[in-house]
């Protein structure tokens, strides 16, 4: 979706939650994956315990997506609650990109 809507203002940020203290090669795997996908957006690696991000981000396990409006309101899509329907996410993105 980033390639499709970037010119309209879509910004994508990914956050990897791999525990690099427990699994040091996880960082390299994440970088290789993102390079293979030619991910031209901001990619972060969160170096926090599982309990922290589960509480702060309100989900149990990835994947999870947040869509933010230009006004800062957000909608969460989390696979631990129900299947993420990417067509619904895209529909919301298109709607929000049309707002000023």
pLDDT tens profile 38-68? 888 899 999 899 999 999 999 999 999 999 9
- Give percent of the chain above pLDDT 90: 71
And the tokens for 95? 């709607």
Residues near 68 by beta carbon (within 8 Å), at least 6 away in sequence: 74
pTM for the predicted model, two decimal places: 0.83
Q: What is the mean pLDDT of residues 63-74?
A: 95
Structural domains counted in the chain: 1
- Nearest to residue 13, comparing CAs of 44, 36, 34, 35? 44
Q: Which residue has the tokens 């970037």?
A: 6
Q: Are 13 and 1 in contact (CB under 8 A)?
A: no
CA–CA dist 72, 37 (Å, integer): 28
Which residue range forms the structural domain that includes residue 9?
Answer: 2-97
Residues near 93 by beta carbon (within 8 Å), at least 6 away in sequence: 1, 5, 10, 67
């Amino acid at each position: 979706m980033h390639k499709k809507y970037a010119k309209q203002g879509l910004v994508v940020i990914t956050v990897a939650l791999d525990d690099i203290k427990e699994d040091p090669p996880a960082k390299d795997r994440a970088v290789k994956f993102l390079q293979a996908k030619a991910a031209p957006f901001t990619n972060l690696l969160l170096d926090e315990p599982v309990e922290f991000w589960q509480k702060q981000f309100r989900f149990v396990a990835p994947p999870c997506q947040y869509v933010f409006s230009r006004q800062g309101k957000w909608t969460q899509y989390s696979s631990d609650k129900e299947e993420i329907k990417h067509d619904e996410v895209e529909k919301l993105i298109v709607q929000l990109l049309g707002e000023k």
